Amino acid sequence: MEKYVSLRDIEQAALALLSKTARDYYKSGATDEQTLAENKLAFQRLRIRPKCLVGVERCNLHTTVLGVDVSMPVGISPTAMQRMAHPDGELANVKAAQEEGTVFTLSTIATSSIEEVAEAAPLATKWFQLYIYNDREVTKKLVQRAVKAGFKAIVLTVDTPLFGLRRADIRNKFTLPSHLRLANFDGLLSTKIQSTDSGSGLNKYVEELFDKSLTWNEVKWLKSITTLPIIAKGVLRGDDAVKAVEAGCSAILVSNHGARQLDGVAASIEALPEIVEALKNYNVEVYLDGGVSTGTDVFKALALGAKMVFVGRPALWGLTVGGQAGVQRMLNIFRTELQYTLQIAGTPTTADITKDMVRHESSYFLRK
């Protein structure tokens, strides 16, 4: 794995290895993919303002999320159907997270089950990402199994009444390869996604099965069936963040779903400050995912108020190039880059990162 020096190295190698269908599914964004590009470009519009000679020998990347210690503020976002990337799929991913001391989030529509994941990495901090199905019994059972398997939080995805239009999936008539199944389900729910008459099999699956009538009241229902903390994933507005918290969420994951839901929305790093501001009088944590590609991106998100960042595709690229080892390499590239950043920026611990450490490029342009 040593030959991979940057995330981009891993990504390029992975794109060359994957089948067209899997590659397109993993990398696509919604429609014109403008936001997909913006998720990265927006980080580049921020400038770090390093401090000198502060004494950085005590550099330390640890932080906590929801009270649990993690070795660094970079965790793994839920991504569906990981066995298309590597035979070990979610199991390799969660083992990497365990080894590297960070959070792994399992997708509802994973190709490994809640129980398999728990067994593969009993010591990892595991979160369960939830889609709410029309059938509430199905939904309830998922939550109960996650609780039982030792998952530590429910990540409720709130931006997905249906799946975004991803043109490549439509062109490819995306289906799950027949040797794989949605492992958290039985019967039709586990195999339905394996066929389609036209368009993306995934979109049809979601269109039929996910509940479109959801409102923030659902959080209350969720809280009535579990005591796990609930994280609202997919919030892009300050007012929605307040609604989430007032409905009972313990944290907000600012996210545009990797630019896969609606093209033309803000980059998640652009949306972050509005949400941090709206929640300043609430005692909750704010996270971010979307386009995080370097240690300096992590730093910028933290400076703008995120407690932790998550990565989706980077873990898929790591999985593809080397299973567990590939994901660990990816995480360690982030770790090294962040460590360098903390030291050279003069903020040896994540707690030292204050808001003034980052400024928008336009604040330089517009100075008279």
Ligand X SMILES: Cc1cc2nc3c(=O)[nH]c(=O)nc-3n(C[C@H](O)[C@H](O)[C@H](O)COP(=O)(O)O)c2cc1C
Residues labelled as active-site residues: 257
Residue 32 is a binding residue for a second copy (CB under 8 A)? yes
| Least gap, CB of 201 to a second copy (angstroms) | 15
Binders in 177-206 for a second copy, by CB under 8 A: 198
Residue 95 per-residue DSSP state: H
- CA distance linking residue 212 with residue 195, whole number of Å: 23
Cβ closest to a second copy, residue 178 vs residue 217: 217
Name the residue nearer to ligand X (CB basis): 25 or 334.
25
Choose among ligand X, a second copy, none what residue 290 binds, the Cβ cut-off being 5 to 8 Å by kind: ligand X
Candidates 97-105, 185-193, 315-323, 339-347: pick the segment binding a second copy (CB under 8 A).
339-347
Footprint of ligand X on 155-214 (CB under 6 A):
157
Q: How far is the CB of 286 from ligand X (least distance, A)?
A: 14
**Amino acid identity of 78?**
P
The least distance separating ligand X from the CB of residue 104, rounded to whole angstroms, comes to 12
Distance separating alpha carbons of residues 336 and 321, to the nearest angstrom: 19
Buried b (16+ CB within 10 A) or exposed e, 29-54: bbbebebbebbbebbeebebeeeeee
Q: Contact between 289 and a second copy (CB under 8 A)?
A: no
Question: 217 to 236, contacts with a second copy by CB under 8 A?
Answer: 218, 232, 234-236
Residues 301-330 binding ligand X (CB under 6 A) are: 311-314
- Pick between residue 217 and residue 283 the one whose CB is nearest to a second copy: 217
- Asked if 74 and 334 touch (Cβ cutoff 8 Å), the reply is yes
- Total chain residues near a second copy (CB under 8 A): 79
Residue nearest to ligand X (CB): 312
Query: Per rule CB under 6 A, is residue 233 in the interface with ligand X?
Result: yes
- Examine residue 12 and tell whether it contacts a second copy (CB under 8 A): no
Cα gap 192→362, rounded to integer Å: 49
What's the min distance (Å) between Cβ of 46 and a second copy? 7
The single residue among 79, 125, 196, 203 that binds ligand X, judged by CB under 6 A, is 79
Packing angle, helices 34-44 and 268-278, rounded to 10: 70
CB 59 within 8 Å of CB 89: no
Q: How far is CA 86 from the centre of its chain?
A: 19
Which of residues 116 and 337 has its CB atom nearest to a second copy in the complex? Answer: 337
User: Which among 56, 72, 49, 47 has a CA at the least distance from the CA of 343?
Assistant: 56
77 touches which of ligand X, a second copy, none (CB within 5 to 8 A by kind)? ligand X
In whole angstroms, how large is the CA radius of gyration of the chain? 20
Distance in angstroms (rounded) separating the CA atoms of residues 7 and 312: 12
- In the 8-state DSSP scheme, what is residue 258? G
| Binding-site partner at residue 54 among ligand X, a second copy, none, CB < 5 to 8 Å by type | a second copy
| DSSP element (H, E) containing 310 | strand 308-311
